[in-house]
Amino acid sequence: MPWIVGVLIIWLITAASLYIISKLPFVGVVISSPQKALVSAAVFGILNALLGPILRFLAFPITFLTLGLFAIVINAIIFGLAAYLVQGFRLEKGFLSAILGAILLGLINSLIIQILARAGLQIAA
């Protein structure tokens, strides 16, 4: 499978995951429409690709000391920044929503990718 197809599949999975998360009442993530979920997934992916490595490098000492748990905070920062940049994507409970959203995004993305892998679709991200 060409790499661009893999990127598009991951983008759609992330958009679907974000939309699912926005429908969970206890999280506090609000996405106004499926189209905003697509835009939010694109912005999240771009931020994760550009800022993620820099933040992970700078935060390596504290991530090491917390046995990797600080990686959740880094993902929450990127999640919150995406919410700040995309109109129609907001966090009702502030940083708590960002942390819950980042954790759930990782879990739901992993679950969907595992389901697709068992169906025979291998995604190289």
Between CA 98 and CA 29 the distance in angstroms is 8
Domain contains 123: no
Domain contains 125: no
Please, what's the b/e burial string for 12-28 (b: 16 or more CB within 10 A of its CB; e: otherwise)? Answer: ebbbbbbbbbbeeeebb
Q: What percent of the chain stands above pLDDT 90?
A: 90
Between CA 105 and CA 111 the distance in angstroms is 10
Between CA 55 and CA 57 the distance in angstroms is 5
Chain-centre distance of CA 60, in angstroms?
20
Domain contains 17: yes
Is 58 in contact with 89 (CB distance < 8 Å)? no
- Which structural domain range is residue 26 located in? 3-118
Domain contains 60: yes
pTM of the model: 0.92
What domain count does the chain have?
1
Between CA 60 and CA 42 the distance in angstroms is 26
pLDDT tens for each residue of 58-117: 999 999 999 999 999 999 999 999 999 999 999 999 999 999 999 999 999 999 999 999
Residues across the chain: 125
